[in-house]
């Protein structure tokens, strides 16, 4: 699955979960600063990502990446999804 396809699905997920315009969800959108995503919303979003892409995200690694600032943008999430799809 290509990055464009993943981005389109993420735009739908973020739009439905937090009510943002799908056009606001770009590769470089910061999860917290640009999209205003809370920790609770992130948990729901990641659960939805697992369901939509039929993958299992490593919870401990995701939490660590979020806390360390390694997972901050939509592009970072796409990279994570791509790794799990391989």
Closest-CA residue to 9 (of 28, 17, 65): 17
Question: Could you state, in order of their start, the residue ranges of all structural domains in the chain?
Answer: 3-85
- 4-7 long-range contacts (CB < 8 A, ≥24 apart) are 6/53, 6/78, 6/81, 6/82, 7/74, 7/78
pLDDT over 90, % of the chain:
78
pLDDT classification of 1: cutoffs 50, 70, 90? confident
Res 4 pLDDT > 90: yes
Whether residue 63 has pLDDT greater than 90: no
The model's pLDDT over 72-81, given as tens digits with 9 standing for 90+, comes to 999 999 999 9
| φ, ψ of residue 72 in degrees (nearest 5) | -125, -20
In CATH terms, 3-85 corresponds, of 3.60.140.10, 1.10.1200.10, 3.40.630.30, 3.90.950.10, to 1.10.1200.10
* Matching residue, tokens 């939805």: 48
| Least confident among 9-13, 22-26, 61-65, 81-85 | 61-65
pTM here is 0.91
Mean pLDDT of the chain: 93
Quote the CA–CA distance of 31 and 74 in Å, as a whole number. 7
In sequence order, what DSSP letters do the residues of 46-86 get, joined into one string?
HHHHHHHHT----HHHHHHHHHHTSS-BHHHHHHHHHHHH-
């Amino acid at each position: 699955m290509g990055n464009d396809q993943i981005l389109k699905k993420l735009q739908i997920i973020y739009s439905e979960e937090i009510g943002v315009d799908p056009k606001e969800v770009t590769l470089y959108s910061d999860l917290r600063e640009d999209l205003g995503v809370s920790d609770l919303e992130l948990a729901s979003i990641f659960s939805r990502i697992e369901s939509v892409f039929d993958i299992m995200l490593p919870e401990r690694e995701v939490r660590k990446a979020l806390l360390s600032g390694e997972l901050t943008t939509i592009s970072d999430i796409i990279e994570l999804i791509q790794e799990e799809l391989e």
